[in-house]
Structure 1
């Protein structure tokens, strides 16, 4: 009889273990992808303010489209923050310097754009510090903000950032992530969802970023017509 009861319990025990593992995995996924939370250190995804300020941020790059992006932003006098990839800076010499010269801010998006979860502290340090040196060499002054590739962070990365007093900058609006909207759709979504203090994430690089590049002029013009003023991430965080 005891053996039969034990056999009947095994499916229940196995089921409970599977559920526990699934819940644990779901929890880790939520923490790794959270835009407004990380396990350690400073993180901002939007600044609470009544001023109609907005920070445009561009991930990845730079590449051969840099001057096109600079010209589009200049047309509306819109400074932006570029979360650059170290390997791309080396592959496209002079482009990061051109961004700084045009009045934009450079920030760190790692050297290789690898996902920064389940990695060693040495990997984190190498990815960040190598890119920091390139950003300094391009002429960026002041604090260098950080954004993890695809926004993913778990334990090692936040601990490193906290120990080195680094500030993680996420976003609250991403009109071109995970899809290929038209330029008009990008402009419409931003116009509908933007709030004072918003940090907008855009991906204007490579051939896949053509629609985003096409949207920059109308996007900046639309926000300015609605009373918004463009600032860098550093300027926005100074209001926090």
Structure 2
């Protein structure tokens, strides 16, 4: 049972009990208001935190990995900066997983082909990554996923099976869309915040602090600061005997159909 279903059942039962008590003047109506507020808070947390697996199942890390293996993932490309990211990965003989936006692939098809050529993995990150995409209807979100699949297939000749929701946001419409398209949802448990934090040192510390076997690291190949952080991260992993693998390797799943 998804956490959402369990939470809803608990709150519905609690609500019925409270309404009954209020009708007999045993409780104040404020008790019901507090209950509803708590439900809103929990649901909001579930929407914003993919690791909560509130609306759908996602692979955020693999704690069963015994070897010192981690996965580095990149969102929002391909971008001109992606070429520099690829050079750094080549330098350290490391493979990454790139969750690409369909429109970005259409804008930079040669860079997308370069990702494939260098044996990295490409996953689906929707077609537009619109800032209001989290309120799209189920059908519109299905179109977002399928259009991005088409863009990826054009350059890879393979249908991607890995999907990461924009911003890591999930909701019932996204859950229904992913169930329809059949993708495996990939989250993360090491968020760098390289899109908002201006300090390389702080970003690197966020990633490396308490790093464990099977962790999934989130970076963005569209950011210049990520380039510097990536090289420092790879040096850290190398010195601490970590191996970097792609998402499909980390979870022993298929990246493409």
TM-score class normalised by the smaller sequence: 0.7 to 0.9
Structure 1 gap ranges (5+)? 1-8
Regions of 4+ moved over 6 Å: none
The corresponding residue for 2:237 is: 223
Q: Please give the alpha-carbon distance, in whole angstroms, between the structure 1 residues aligned to 2:38 and 2:142.
A: 31
- Pick aligned residue for 2:113 from 97, 101, 119: 97
Count of residues paired in the alignment: 226
TM-score (norm 1): 0.85
> Which gives a bigger RCO, structure 1 or 2 (Cα 8 Å, sep 6+)?
1
Please tell me whether the aligned partners of residues 116 and 153 of structure 1 are also in contact (alpha carbons under 8 angstroms): no
Instruction: Find out whether 1:111 has 2:127 as its counterpart.
Output: yes
The corresponding residue for 2:149 is: 132
TM-score (norm 2): 0.80
Cα deviation code 1:155-179 (max 9, x no counterpart): 0111222243321110000122563
1:202 alignment partner, SS class: strand
CA RMSD of aligned residues (A): 2.3
Deviation at 1:93, TM superposition (A): 2.7
Deviation at 1:81, TM superposition (A): 0.4
Instruction: Find out whether 1:156 has 2:173 as its counterpart.
Output: yes
Structure 2 gap ranges (5+)? 1-24
Deviation at 1:73, TM superposition (A): 0.8
Q: Please give the alpha-carbon distance, in whole angstroms, between the structure 1 residues aligned to 2:171 and 2:162.
A: 18
1:170 alignment partner, SS class: coil
Please tell me whether the aligned partners of residues 55 and 80 of structure 1 are also in contact (alpha carbons under 8 angstroms): yes
2:217 alignment partner, SS class: strand
Instruction: Find out whether 1:238 has 2:252 as its counterpart.
Output: yes
- Pick aligned residue for 1:33 from 30, 48, 60: 48
